Amino acid sequence: MAAKDESKPTPTKPTSSLTIKLMVSKKNRRIMYAEAGKDFVDMLCSFLTLPTGVIAKLALRSDTTAKPCCITNLYNSVEALSDSLFKADKSVLLGQKVFSTIYTNDVLNIDAPAPPVAAKPTEPPKYYVCSNAGSTSYKHYLSPQSAAVRCPCGSYVNREVYFVDRPAESTPQLVVPGNAQGYVKKRANFVITDDLSVIPVDSTATIVNLWNKIQVKEPTELEEKNVTVGAAEVLGLLKAAMTSTTALNDVFKVETKPVSSGSPMDTESARGAFQEFLLKLMKEEPKIFAKTFTNTA
């Protein structure tokens, strides 16, 4: 076996991570929503640019514990089919490519297409008329070549004419990876709900309306938890986006706080336990129960 040449290291794409703030219910330890900036929202928006084959390959097929869905079965079938059955390379169906070229925070290291090469402008064709073209006595010739033909008026067709076009309509400028700025405009903050609905935070009323919707009465009912979103979390979110309506809780597991042994029981629980003890005592030891209450009286 030939020795590995380490003189030229293989270039790798830098992996990046994002940070978001989870708002967790203290009562049931569920994630109610997340607060994030533009970078996280850009990443979520990038899910909409991924071909279905990429989603099946990266997110759905990777979970061996889940029940296979139709799209993963289709992907596996295409992968297993012989190359001779395809007119073109089947990697266009299975390859790890995206169609968007304006997102640079590539956590999943998915290849983006190369920016299109601008076509060189072509010179407009030239046309020639004779020197008597202004006269209406004859039908004058128009030729793409100079002095190649003689006009019915007797003059050579050798005078160049120019066509004046209307101004070209402005076309949207293509954003290439080098100048990519993502999808959404820079904002102070966004709110992302458990089902990946994205809500811009314009005022405190936005948060209050959200609290009413998710039945949060007081800010003290929530606690903050900062988490890092890396490649594993992005894959989890991509899978959950396709198969679940509770993406945040599926991906970011919040540990339940243990109850200390010395903490007192709440009033309702204590009252219920005491009543249960009395009923058991009356049933099993009625004499002791009667004697106990007679002495206390």
Q: From first to last of its 297 residues, what are the pLDDT tens digits of the chain?
A: 444 444 443 333 434 578 999 999 999 999 999 999 988 998 898 888 888 888 888 888 777 676 767 888 888 898 899 988 888 888 878 876 666 666 655 566 666 656 566 666 777 788 888 877 777 667 777 778 887 778 878 788 888 887 766 665 655 444 444 445 778 888 778 999 999 999 998 888 888 899 999 889 888 899 999 999 988 898 899 999 988 899 999 999 877 665 444 444 444 555 555 566 656 656 655 555 455 445 544
24 lies in some domain: yes
Are 105 and 39 contacting, i.e. CB atoms less than 8 angstroms apart?
yes
- What pTM was computed for the model? 0.59
Q: By residue range, what is the domain housing residue 164?
A: 124-168
85 lies in some domain: no
Within this chain, do residues 31 and 111 fall inside the same structural domain, yes or no? yes
Within this chain, do residues 244 and 185 fall inside the same structural domain, yes or no? yes
**Which class for 220: exposed (0-12), middle (13-18), buried (19 or more C-beta within 10 A)?**
exposed
209 lies in some domain: yes
Are 58 and 238 contacting, i.e. CB atoms less than 8 angstroms apart?
yes
CA distances from 292 to 177, 274, 289, 297 (A): 85, 16, 5, 9
237 lies in some domain: yes
Within this chain, do residues 102 and 206 fall inside the same structural domain, yes or no? yes
Between CA 156 and CA 164, with CA 160 as vertex, the angle to 5 degrees is 145
Within this chain, do residues 182 and 202 fall inside the same structural domain, yes or no? yes
Within this chain, do residues 142 and 279 fall inside the same structural domain, yes or no? no
Give the count of domains, the chain: 3
C-alpha 20: how far from chain center: 15
Within this chain, do residues 137 and 211 fall inside the same structural domain, yes or no? no
Within this chain, do residues 36 and 163 fall inside the same structural domain, yes or no? no
Within this chain, do residues 200 and 156 fall inside the same structural domain, yes or no? no
272 lies in some domain: yes
- Contacts of residue 18, Cβ cutoff 8 Å, sequence gap at least 6: 36, 39, 40, 43, 105, 107, 228, 229
Within this chain, do residues 145 and 190 fall inside the same structural domain, yes or no? no
Within this chain, do residues 217 and 135 fall inside the same structural domain, yes or no? no
